[in-house]
Structures are given as structure tokens and as C-alpha cells.
Structure 1
Amino acid sequence: MAYPMTGTNNPAASCQFTPLVSEAARQAHQNYQAPYRLCLMAALAAISSATQPLVDVVMPYGATVPLSLFLVGIAKSGERKSAVEHRFMQRIRAIEEALEADHKNRMADYNVRLHQWKGHRKRLEKILEKKGLEHSEHKRVSEELVEHWKEKPEEPQRARIVYEDISPMAMLTALNETKVGTLVSSEGGIIVDGKSFDGVPYFNSLWSGEPVGVSRMRQATLQINDARLTISIMLQPDIFGPHTGKKGEKVRGSGHWARYLVFNPESTQGTRFSRKQANSWEHMERFDHRLSQILDRARMARVVGNAEREEILFSQEAASLWFDLADEIEDGIRSGGKYENASDHASKLAENMARVAALLHYFEDFEGQISANTLRVAADTCNECSQDFIDLFVPVPEEISDAEELRGMMQRMCNDGYRIVRKNYLRQRCPNSLRSGGRFYKALDVLAREGAIRPMQDTRNIVYIDMAPGLALPWDCPLWYC
């Protein structure tokens, strides 16, 4: 299908539709000189974290789903992942620090009240232990002690919203109390190689907005309903690599990585010259201001308790476009399609587009329903993430990788002055791995279909390969096309 693309790979292209988000990401990209898409990922993580307790999106087919995103960024050491993540999350972390300070104050008050409560309990217990206590007095003190036990101070819970290195059980216990959380790390190895990913099935359910039940030995069963969880992790390639191959099949097989928007941008190292920095932050400040407005609403919703989430709908035009996008993705799952070997990822892609569109719509404070333009920006972003997912998780077919190896060998031969050689000559000199199982011939067929080579025959039916088919043949060449 064809529709106007806004091109989020070009930072300036989407600014006309989502200025708060795109301009903030562009400015962070310019000032930190980190990859633009890494900055965009950090912005989406902050928006998802702040917005998820307040808003859901109604899909064009009627289902209501969370706005929570699962995000993973792949970047080498030195790409300034930590700086970008902390800058976009600073307002959320400031609230986290305020909650921690408030918790310390409430703990101090709790400890005083608990000390007083224990003192009064001991006094009542001593009275009951006295010998010769009259029955009526014993009954009165016993009743008072029963009531006193009912008045035991409850230990205040730490109302955290951002988590880093945490066990699945601790994370689930926290979500059972707060109903909202963000698992975030700019050094994601702490998470994926730690205990957090032991809870993958629970995280899958939370992404979908489904209830989670956890049975624990010698502890009360957890029943987590209507909770929201955002995950944002940044990883170095060597840490992420094992999760994409054989070793990662268990997590991939559970459908966990399929829920992620994957950001694997090109490195900016070697191009980060000091004169490119603007050192102005007006767009980031506008982003921070809007984020603070949303966080204040979330805080008020928590005070009121059980506040209903706002539901965002698609306009008729956007809903029609979403169905077209979903159908295009579904068509790609067929044999030979783009998503033939990534059907798990494809099954979540259209919903991720809807979630990102709703987040952008709400954060930009657009009126009415989600527009087609906002969905296009979301689709562009998710399609780039989709390509990154395929590049990382879907292995290149053997004949394609073999063809690339053969192409390199032929290029070196051309550089040495060769052009037309016998096919058998090529086979005898190709890498050993290509000489069995027909791999050489399959690779040659790939190059022929691409037009990278030209098979030819002489009068004795000996097959030759023209390794520079773009050039005109010599006038005296005694060969013809196969």
C-alpha cells in the first residue's frame, strides 16, 4: 500500500505533526550527539511511564488496551545512553526522589507510633499476667487488648514508580500495591542478565493488560489486576547478541521480545564534533513541562484512588488507515513475505503502532480523536523498529549470505583484472563451505536474479560467468547468454 510517510529517520520530517516529542528528541540528539532514534526511544519511555496510569486506547476493532510500551535500545559503549535516558526521565526520577523522602518521613512517624503501640500492648499484657486479677477486670483488659491489636499501625509502603535491578517477585509485589511501574535501565545487562527476566510470562500478561495471579509458598497469593508496566532498557550489542540466537530462543519463544519496539541505530561516534552542539534546551524544557503536567494528573489520580482512565479513540480516517496497515502486516506473514520468520513480532506490530499513536496524541495535547497524520508518524517509527527487529532476530537465509560471500570474492577478482571466467573455475576457488550441498549454485542463482552476474555459453556449451554485466561485451566475444 502507499500512504504519505513522515520519515522519522529524518528528525525534521515529523516535527510538523509531533513538535513536542520530535523537537525534544532532535535537540537531545544535537546536544548530546547521541543517535537520534536513541533519543526518540528515551522520549517514548518517559511518555509511556507518565501516561500509562491515566489513559488507554480503544483499538479500531473495539478492544481497549494499555498504552504501556516495551522498548529496547542497542548501542555500543560510549553512545551516551545513560546521559540521554537520565535527561528524559529526570522529571520522573525527581518524583521518585520526592516519594522516597516522603516515605522516610512516614517511616519515622510509623516507628514512633509503633513504639507507642508496643508500649501500651506490653502494659496491657502485664496486667493480664497479674495473679488474683478479678474476672471482670481480666475481661475488660482482654477486650481492650483485642481492640488495641486492631489499631496496630500499618507500615507505609514505598510508592516507587521506577525500578532497575529487581527480582520478578519484588516487582510483582510492588505492582500489586501501586498498580503502575517502570522497569528502566541505561545499562540493561543488569536486567536481562539479572533476575527480572525470570518473570517473562508475567510481563507478557502485564503488557496485554491482563490480570496476573502468583501463588507463593508461605505467603499470600498475589492477584494483580489492571496494572500497567513500561519497560525501557538499553543494551550493548555484545550483551544483546545472545538473546537473538539459539540461547535466546526460550525468551523469544515466549513471545516476549515480540512485544518490544527495537531501536538499533547507527553509531554517531566519529561524527560528534563540538561545533555541532547548540547547547540550547528550549524544546526539552517544553517537553519537561508537558511531562510534569501529566505526572501531576497521575499523582492526583492516585490520591483520589481508582480513578477511571481516559479512553482515546481513532478518527474514522485513522481507523481506516490502521486497518490497511494491519492487513499489510498480515500479508507479510505469508511464505516469502517480510514477516515469514517473524510472525510473533508481526502479530504485535499493529497494536504497537496504535499505542504509540495514542501516546503521541495525548502528549502533544491534540484535540479530539487520533488523526491519520499522528498514526503515520507512529507507523513510521514502528516500521523502523520492525526492520531492526528483523535484522537482529531473523537470520539471513543461507543462500543470501552465501551470495554475499561469493560477491565479495568476484569483486576481488574483478579488481585483479578478471571479468569473464568459467563457472567451474569459480566453483573450484570459492570458499570451502560453498562447495557442498549445492550452496555454490544456489548463491550463483541469487546473484543472477539480482543482475549482479551474467551467465553465458560458448559453442561447446561451457558455461562462463560475466562478473561485470553492466559493461558492454567485447565486439569479438564468442559467447552468448545462457
Structure 2
Amino acid sequence: MEYPMTREPNPAALCYSQPLFGEAVRQAHQNFQAPYRLCLMGGLAALSSAAQSLVDVVMPYGARVPAGVYLALIARSGERKSTVERRFMKEIKALDDNLEEEHNCNLADYKVKMLEWKNRKKQLEKKLGKSGNDQHELTRIREELRELLASEPTKPQRAKLVYEDISPMAMLNALNETGVGTLVSSEGGIIVDGKSFDAVPHLNSLWSGDKVSVARVGKPSLNISDARLTVSIMLQPEIFKPQTGKKGEKIRGSGHWARYLVINPESTQGTRLSTRQANSWEHLDAFDRRIREILSKARMARIVGDVEREEIRFSEEAAAAWYKLADRIEEAILPGGQFEHASDHASKLGENIARVAALLHFFEGDGGAITVETLNVAADICNECSDDFLKLFVPPPEEVRDAVELDKLINRMRDDGLRFIRRTYLHKRCPNAQRTGGRFFRALDVLLREGVIRSYVDMSNSQCLDLCPLLPLPWGGPLNGHH
């Protein structure tokens, strides 16, 4: 079976194909010494947040879908996720601060106008009560009151882009007002919290660009249409782990995690030496300038109102390449394929590749259609996320995990100079958990099938193992019956 994407992750390809974005990610990785893919997530989150209100991606088969992405980072505390996120989201949060100041000023003006409006309303109501039977006066006051009611001041909307550590339901309330937003959480447990699960189907709909209707007891219903949402959350491994088991089946079953680009990078803790850090920030500064340009367009579009989002399309060559990727992904759902136990993830993977490609294409500002080079880089990024999704949600069978642990023990024996041993010798020294229920023998069978070791019977009819099956035999003859 040929897997959907076979290229190895290559940061250099990102820098070459997408220099503005790729060099910023590389520089963040070098300067903050955080995991490379954590920095990649920070850049994608900022890009998705800034661009989602301006562009949609037209899939090769014609459907128009949002360009925003959902990102989930699984990492221990201390990986510098917050530091990286703050750096990439700097311009977006600066705009949010300005919008908040404007909102506060507009809110103060609104309150003054509302006081004047209420006083005028009271005056007219008093006149209405004192007008008696004078029909002419009644008609005049009623008309004046009708005009006043029609001119009631409108409360200014809060134009906020980033919402930090709020519940998904609160995010829905915000989207009902603003129509666009980014849910950023360093405590991503709010997504998996039992009280928040009711909002998960609505988050699924928002990812797809569908209309969302939420009935609320004692409050007006929420009717959110054509909204755009980016999600960027961090989960500690211990908080995320239940999502991969039976407790998390409800959320996994809803297709929620399948929509995410899941990132579970290798830790850099213990290797972050000051001598490896650079003082140059020019690529991140260039990233900031481009984000400011995008935000300026987004803000202008909001002021003008009802502006059509730009359609990002694929070139003919890129569309043909995307179809090939989609076919391989589909084939990999078959028994024995990469996605045999992750069809939910596979069903969204092709669209996620298209979204990442559209975001990168738009950010670089090349114009025209998405190229094959950009599609390949997007596929590489999503391939890494696929690997992490499968490791977390579709772990290998018990015997394979046991075989990995047993292989570590065998490697230590090799380092000690051992090559030919009895099977009972290995059994007595294997991890405690493997000594019952036949687990040791099932793990041993995996190693034998893979050719990591080979078995033989010695002259005393004892079952033995050759720990270095690729090396020539010291005695030059057949294995069985010797040693």
C-alpha cells in the first residue's frame, strides 16, 4: 500500500517554497529553541486568524470552504508554547487592543446618546399623558414618539479577533456578535470538559462553514451564519490522554478531533543552550509586516461591510496532484492501510491540505492559483500531523508496543556483548508486565517476524535466540544443532 504522502518533513522546503512564512518559522525555532513544529503551529494559527475573514478556498471539485484551520498541540508544560504564540500573534493582539479602545470610546458615546434618548422619550410620554382629548396634539406627539423609537441608538459591537481561554459556548456567543474569531487556549481542557461538549457539534459546523443555530433557555437563540473560526489549543498529555480511550469516544465519534491538525512534537527541553540562539529577528519582523497588511484589509472590509471573500483556487497541475493525494488517502482506509482505523481523520485530511495550501499561498502574496510546490509543502505539514494523530488515537497493538520494549532490552544485551542466548534467559529478564498472559511470546513473535532476531535449537534441544541475525555465524554452518 502506498501511503498518501511519502516525503520526509523538510523545513528547508518550506523556506524555499514559502520564504516569508518558512523563514519566520525557522527563525522562531532558532531563537526560542522551541520544537520546530510548535513554531509552525504558531505561524499557522496567526495566519489563519488574520486571513480567514478575507479568503475561502475553492476545492478542486468546486466546493467553496473556509480557509481557517483547527490546531491542537499536545505538549508538556515548559515547551515555550505561550512564548511562541505571543510572538506570532503579536500584531493580531495589538489590533485587538486598538479595537478594544475604540469600542470603549464608542460605548461611552452610546451611553450618552442613550441617556439623551431616554430623557426625550420620558418627555414625550409625559406630553402624551397630558394631551387629554386634543386629537391633533395626540397625533403630533404619537408621530414624534414613533420617530424617536425608530432612532433608538444602536449599541456598538465589540470587534475582537482573539478570545483566550474562554469556553466554546462563550465563543459561540462572541461569534454571534462578530462573525469572526480565534479561540486560543493554553488550557485546552476546556474543549474536552464535559460541560463544553454541547458546543462541539457547533464547532464542527463552523469548521465546515455551515449555519449554526443554538436554542437557549431564557435567552434569545443564537443564529450564526457565514462565520469564520480558527482554533488553537494546547493540551497537556495527561489531559489529552483520556480523549484517546473510551472516555473520549463521544467527542472522537462526533468527528471533532478529525478536523484538527494535531501536533505532538519531540521536546527540546534539555537542549536549549544559549550558544545556539541568534539575535536576528528580521524574518519575524517581515512576518509581522505581512500580517499587518492582511489585518488592514480585513478591517477595511469590516468597515465597508458585505465584502465578498476572495476565492483561492488551484492551478490545473495542482488540482490534478490534489486528486492523486485524495485517491491515495481513500485507498489507505482499506484493511491494512494507514487509515484503516482512522477513516474520520482521512475524510477531512484532503480538505485540511487544501486549506493549509490556500493560507500559505495567500500569505506569500504571489497572486494567481495555488501551485504544486505549495500543495506539496502543505501535504508535508499535514502528513506530520497525520502521523501524530495516528500515534495518539490509533496506537499500535499491545504486542507491537511490547516488542518495542523487548527490543530495547535486547539492544542492551547486544551492548554487553551477548549474541546467542536461551529464550528462557530473555523471558526471565523481560518487563514484568510481559511475564503473564503470554505477552512475552507474542512480542517475541513480532521481533522474529520482523527479522530483528532469529530462533534456533541448540544441541541440548533448548530454544535459543540469535540477537544479531545479520552477522555471519562464527562456525560457518547451519544455525540449528550448533553453539
Output the TM-score relative to the length of structure 1. Answer: 0.92
- 1:235 Cα shift? 2.7
Q: Which residue of 1 aligns with 2:149?
A: 149
Moved more, 384-393 or 246-255: 246-255
Query: Does the aligned pair in 2 maintain the 1:5–1:376 contact within 8 Å?
Result: no
Question: After superposition, what is the alpha-carbon deviation per residue over 1:85-116, rounded to whole angstroms, capped at 9, x for unaligned?
Answer: 11111111111111111111111111111111
Change over 3 Å in CA distance of 1:391–1:110 after alignment to 2 = same
Moved more, 129-138 or 462-471: 129-138
Query: Does the aligned pair in 1 maintain the 2:3–2:332 contact within 8 Å?
Result: no
Question: After superposition, what is the alpha-carbon deviation per residue over 1:158-194, rounded to whole angstroms, capped at 9, x for unaligned?
Answer: 1212112334343223222322111112443455448
Correspondence 1:19 to 2:7 = no
Aligned residue type for 1:78: G
Correspondence 1:210 to 2:210 = yes
What pairs up with 1:314-353 in 2 under 5 angstroms?
Answer: 314-353=314-353
Q: Which residue of 2 aligns with 1:355?
A: 355
Structure 2 segments unaligned to the other structure (5+ residues): none
SS in 2 for 1:73: strand
Q: Which residue of 2 aligns with 1:110?
A: 110
Change over 3 Å in CA distance of 1:5–1:244 after alignment to 2 = closer
Correspondence 1:125 to 2:119 = no
Q: Aligned equivalents of 1:236 and 1:22: distance in 2?
A: 27
- 1:458 Cα shift? 4.5
Q: Aligned equivalents of 2:373 and 2:354: distance in 1?
A: 12
Change over 3 Å in CA distance of 1:455–1:204 after alignment to 2 = same
Q: Aligned equivalents of 2:100 and 2:184: distance in 1?
A: 17
Q: Identity across aligned pairs (percent)?
A: 62
Moved more, 266-275 or 101-110: 266-275
SS in 2 for 1:43: helix
Change over 3 Å in CA distance of 1:259–1:473 after alignment to 2 = same
Correspondence 1:171 to 2:171 = yes
Q: Which residue of 2 aligns with 1:31?
A: 31
- 1:460 Cα shift? 7.4
- 1:141 Cα shift? 2.4
Aligned residue type for 2:123: R
- 1:75 Cα shift? 2.5
Change over 3 Å in CA distance of 1:18–1:195 after alignment to 2 = farther
Aligned residue type for 2:331: D
Q: Aligned equivalents of 2:194 and 2:24: distance in 1?
A: 32
Question: After superposition, what is the alpha-carbon deviation per residue over 1:195-242, rounded to whole angstroms, capped at 9, x for unaligned?
Answer: 655411001011111111222233333322211110011233233223
Q: Aligned equivalents of 1:195 and 1:295: distance in 2?
A: 34
Q: Aligned equivalents of 1:450 and 1:175: distance in 2?
A: 53
Correspondence 1:180 to 2:185 = no
Q: Aligned equivalents of 2:481 and 2:318: distance in 1?
A: 51
- 1:428 Cα shift? 6.0
Q: Aligned equivalents of 1:240 and 1:10: distance in 2?
A: 27
Moved more, 285-294 or 436-445: 436-445
Q: Aligned equivalents of 2:421 and 2:478: distance in 1?
A: 13
Q: Aligned equivalents of 2:180 and 2:234: distance in 1?
A: 21
Q: Indicate the RMSD between aligned Cα atoms, in angstroms.
A: 2.7
Q: Which residue of 2 aligns with 1:306?
A: 306
Change over 3 Å in CA distance of 1:131–1:481 after alignment to 2 = farther
Aligned residue type for 2:82: S
Q: Aligned equivalents of 2:66 and 2:401: distance in 1?
A: 40
SS in 2 for 1:468: coil
Query: Does the aligned pair in 2 maintain the 1:349–1:382 contact within 8 Å?
Result: yes
- 1:351 Cα shift? 1.0
Moved more, 134-143 or 390-399: 134-143
Aligned residue type for 1:347: S
Aligned residue type for 1:271: T
Q: Aligned equivalents of 1:196 and 1:409: distance in 2?
A: 44
Moved more, 293-302 or 265-274: 265-274
Q: Which residue of 1 aligns with 2:251?
A: 251
Aligned residue type for 1:92: I
Moved more, 94-103 or 191-200: 191-200
- 1:254 Cα shift? 1.1
SS in 1 for 2:181: strand
- 1:69 Cα shift? 0.2
Change over 3 Å in CA distance of 1:431–1:169 after alignment to 2 = closer
Q: Aligned equivalents of 1:476 and 1:109: distance in 2?
A: 95
Query: Does the aligned pair in 2 maintain the 1:72–1:235 contact within 8 Å?
Result: yes
Change over 3 Å in CA distance of 1:375–1:218 after alignment to 2 = same
Change over 3 Å in CA distance of 1:169–1:79 after alignment to 2 = closer
Q: Which residue of 2 aligns with 1:50?
A: 50
- 1:138 Cα shift? 3.5
Q: Which residue of 2 aligns with 1:297?
A: 297
- 1:477 Cα shift? 7.8
What pairs up with 1:412-431 in 2 under 5 angstroms?
Answer: 412-414=412-414, 418-423=418-423, 426-427=426-427, 430-431=430-431
Moved more, 109-118 or 9-18: 9-18
- 1:381 Cα shift? 0.8
Query: Does the aligned pair in 2 maintain the 1:28–1:284 contact within 8 Å?
Result: yes
Q: Which residue of 2 aligns with 1:75?
A: 75
Q: Which residue of 2 aligns with 1:392?
A: 392
Q: Aligned equivalents of 1:478 and 1:161: distance in 2?
A: 72
Correspondence 1:480 to 2:475 = no
- 1:355 Cα shift? 0.6
Aligned residue type for 1:298: A
Q: Aligned equivalents of 1:28 and 1:311: distance in 2?
A: 30
Number of aligned positions between the proteins: 481
Q: Aligned equivalents of 1:302 and 1:367: distance in 2?
A: 22
- 1:427 Cα shift? 4.6
Aligned residue type for 2:361: H
